[in-house]
Amino acid sequence: GESTLVLSQDKDLIPDYLFLAMSQMKPCRLKNADRIGCYKGRDLGFLGMCCKHCGGQPGFGKYFPASVRSLAQTTTSQTIVKHIAYKCRFCPENVRNSVLALQEGQTLKDKVTKDSKSAAAAVDWMRP
């Protein structure tokens, strides 16, 4: 199924494992309790994303990227993948296993091609 963060039309723009991991996220708004670390200076209500299975904690399943560029960074996307694949206790095992299998099966050529496109077409999580 589609989430509001990624649509089926985005599938060819990013690696399959990242598409599946991102589809496990949902939009959320920054609350006072989330204003820690690098999120301290963000305004209340700042748009971000959180794990749809556990709701996450800031930096651990809950993310508030400052820009599309920061969302497209490898560290941000890999943190989301790690959360879904390893850390979320509520993520269904079949989803976790699928993310890991897709990640292992990703060829270097596909990864380079799709990752370069993902910066330009980073998930448009503020779609109207």
Q: pLDDT band at residue 124, thresholds of 50, 70 and 90?
A: low
Reply yes or no on whether the pLDDT at 16 is more than 60.
Answer: yes
| pLDDT tens by residue, 39-50 | 999 999 999 999
Alpha-carbon torsion, ordered 90, 22, 1, 26, to 10 deg: 70
Q: Model's pTM, two decimal places?
A: 0.77
Separation in Å, CA 125 to CA 7, 39, 73, 96, 106: 10, 18, 15, 22, 24
| pLDDT tens by residue, 82-114 | 999 999 999 999 999 999 999 988 854 465 555
Q: What is the pLDDT of residue 45?
A: 96
| pLDDT tens by residue, 109-119 | 465 555 545 54
Q: What is the pLDDT of residue 1?
A: 43
Angle at 49 between CA 43 and CA 54, to 5 degrees: 120
